[in-house]
Structure 1
């Protein structure tokens, strides 16, 4: 995977991809559908785990990993992406980009219907992008508001988007988690966040919402009118809600579930489960996301409004120990806010070495009596590894004079509190989405200090110099110049501890050998699963 990502990150990629995608070639379509030429078995139920239980199944409204996992089977984007991050057809069968990089034209698939039988047309695309996502999807909204000049339906099957200025990463935005297509006839003129359709989602995907028994399971049923003829192969998907990690491991061992995502079981169990008979293992399918674990420090109030205190926190944490001992080697210490496998990563950024002595020196230099400001670590609900990480942070900060406690929260509560800046410190992970302008910038620019989402600039970081560099880098067509700008951004963010970047996550997927075509793209298990089948024994 790393070799693939590095080849994608070559300095010619941006300019080359812009010109090469002037039209979506038929060869791309052929490459994308090649797996379907192999005879596959129809029927069966695929069982997995959703951990933690998501607050909602609509990825337009919630970008947490569990939501994206399930929503990717219900909703679809105009495009998906191969492992080398090249766009592939989905609801758009072809596309072209004008030579000046300002006009994107999409030709839609024919015969696509929503799960309620209504036709999917260009009007849905325009509504989704220009209305619903512009209002509720924080990552997409930020790009649309900044770069999109207009969007229009040329006819029922053609959509034209015009940008204010060239923005090379734009073509990477059309996967289902970033730009899901939503039904205009159900959402237009409504309160998007409280629409009744949120409880029984309607998409164009291969699987339809069937049942959600809170605390037990979520079931999706085969879409009998799916627009890809002969698909999906599976009759049903079941995602079990199993709060205890050990019980999730047992469920896989017994065959009650056939698929485990990264994080479904504790990393300590992965080696044992991987060695079971008829089990496959892969770390592919994360190329688009390159997940980064970071500690968010609320910079609006003491003690973390002082950069010296934040720097002390970085010196106090042994990130190699975190990876090796808490996450059992599944990852690598972070060097930068940019994952090392992604575009424009700079390996030469100065680092905070692990040193309690230097941590104490930084606190002394800050002039802050950190003990006067008790802090709470708002815990995520991702599992025991993350709980141990919270405990480790507490253990390392208390000898420096911090008064630290840990408070638990389920996924919905965590998202609401972090999105509304109601936290002192919390540890989470975010996706990078193929380009720093899409997945990293959103976490640091001042214009993205907006309430209502946990995946914006929730820590309140504000640096006009960094904002200016982000803006220049996002629209620069020359890859070498983008590298210079992004290298400077990385140096500033690391020095400021804009977020306390901890480690790059390696997520394994384990599954039974009779499950075919499970991981086939850069978005991995967030894919639609329309080509997944279960081989009969």
Structure 2
């Protein structure tokens, strides 16, 4: 579906799918988003297109993970920590020309926290008691309990500001306030965006950008080499990076992500409800073999659901070290012999390649697997929403998201009242030292319960034309932020 309000630059872009030069860029992406509404979808690929480009929130993440002003130029917190008053920027309009004001903020936050909300991160808004427009440029958000992370929560892609006039078409023709506006979505091939000349902030250097979907690693390599794409921020063929490093036409950009890559386990699926079986699975896994075999050495082993670059990280990899004999003993103790589990794999290479390696490792301790390769939309419906699975492999790329383990309805269905109380305490704690201790305790609890098989922190391995500047090295959130991207002469 195409937005009919196209700029002159956008019409020019539609004449070709890959313009090279000083004001256009084509980026490769492995996965095509199932829709383009970040407030109603769980797929990381949505934010990879729209975050900071089309849509903006009250706050936003910078390339170093810092929380920065967004549509709110400033905010104040009441002494009791219960009320956040946001000052909105003046003169901001949506891409359809309508004004963005306090009423849109009220609409967006009320919609996200509503009982029938389909927001994938609805927990971000659970503490909101009321949202009130004090004036066109001032909004008060009252919380039911203090939340020192609230400004951080508002920086997520799930918390962007939308308008009632255009929300019904957000899935296919998004209308935001960002520096780029939506042009077209050619399903199965690409999404095109163009510079928003009415943008309230600094104009981006790029006039046009195309996100081209290339899931096959070999095709991605060929597209980069041929110049059909200018950059591939999350390159799916790490085994070829050495060739790009040796070619002066390219830069290889290696950084870190927030992506905890895990063997997600359905904690309510038959024998997997037994912690001894989950522990056996954890000890059957050789993380380094998976990192080497699926990621060609790119990735940092993890033993819990927390990013190693976070100062609060605890290295618990030794607690679930590779020990197949222990796995066999635990399975025998649990009476789980001749076990067959369904392993559902989404499209990314880390899942498909890693799944084959894990299946072989599990087979060595007496666990058979039935592998099903799912397309992304099918994975969302069957695994994430339907909870119809035993095991799956996925990278959780949302920042600082250990709180998902406090949601019994979440897809791996972990229900621990003590952990839920711990996260509730964390959510109302603002003292940094106390937050550190609570974060460490939370990591230990889920490691002790062997909720999932913790594999590795996903590395950000990107390739770009050497003349491109401003692409993010690290990924503090799932985004291809083009606001600072430009070409060198």
Give the TM-score taking structure 1 as reference length.
Answer: 0.82
Q: Distance in 2 between matches of 1:125 and 1:300?
A: 38
Q: 1:386-405, CA deviations, whole angstroms, 9 ceiling, x for partnerless residues?
A: 31211111111123332312
Partner residue of 2:30 out of 51, 56, 63: 51
In the alignment, what sits opposite 1:509?
462
In the alignment, what sits opposite 2:15?
none
Residue 144 of structure 1, CA deviation? 1.7
Q: Distance in 1 between matches of 2:76 and 2:231?
A: 37
C-alpha RMSD over aligned residues: 2.3
For the pair 1:535 / 2:488, whether they are aligned, the reply is yes
In the alignment, what sits opposite 2:328?
360
For the pair 1:142 / 2:127, whether they are aligned, the reply is no
Partner residue of 1:64 out of 43, 62, 67: 43
Q: 1:140-167, CA deviations, whole angstroms, 9 ceiling, x for partnerless residues?
A: x21322x222211111111111222221
Q: 1:154-206, CA deviations, whole angstroms, 9 ceiling, x for partnerless residues?
A: 1111111122222111121222513111112233xxxxxxx334211111112
For the pair 1:440 / 2:421, whether they are aligned, the reply is no
Runs of 4+ in structure 1 deviating by more than 4 angstroms, as ranges, are 520-525
Q: Distance in 2 between matches of 1:125 and 1:175?
A: 13
Partner residue of 1:415 out of 366, 380, 403: 380
Structure 2 counterparts to residues 168-183 of structure 1, below 5 A? 168-183=148-163
Q: Distance in 2 between matches of 1:416 and 1:133?
A: 22
How many matched pairs? Answer: 466
Q: Distance in 2 between matches of 1:526 and 1:232?
A: 16
In the alignment, what sits opposite 1:16?
none
Is the partner of 1:136 in helix, strand or coil? coil
Structure 2, unaligned stretches of length 5 or more? 1-19
In the alignment, what sits opposite 1:311?
279
Q: 1:197-227, CA deviations, whole angstroms, 9 ceiling, x for partnerless residues?
A: 4211111112222122222222112222222
In the alignment, what sits opposite 2:140?
160
In the alignment, what sits opposite 1:429?
395
| Higher strand content, 1 or 2 | 2
Would the alpha carbon gap of residues 227 and 306 (structure 1) be closer, same or farther in structure 2, given more than 3 Å must change? same
Is the partner of 1:341 in helix, strand or coil? coil
CA contact (8 A) 2:263 2:454 kept: yes
In the alignment, what sits opposite 1:238?
210
In the alignment, what sits opposite 2:233?
261
Q: Distance in 1 between matches of 2:23 and 2:477?
A: 21
Q: Distance in 2 between matches of 1:488 and 1:232?
A: 43
Q: Distance in 2 between matches of 1:535 and 1:108?
A: 34
CA contact (8 A) 2:293 2:354 kept: no
Q: Distance in 2 between matches of 1:186 and 1:220?
A: 17
For the pair 1:406 / 2:355, whether they are aligned, the reply is no
Is the partner of 1:198 in helix, strand or coil? coil
Residue 524 of structure 1, CA deviation? 6.8
Which region of structure 1 is more displaced relative to structure 2, 305-314 or 391-400?
Answer: 391-400
Q: Distance in 1 between matches of 2:228 and 2:284?
A: 42
Q: Distance in 2 between matches of 1:432 and 1:351?
A: 24
Structure 1, unaligned stretches of length 5 or more? 1-40, 188-194, 451-456
Is the partner of 2:484 in helix, strand or coil? coil
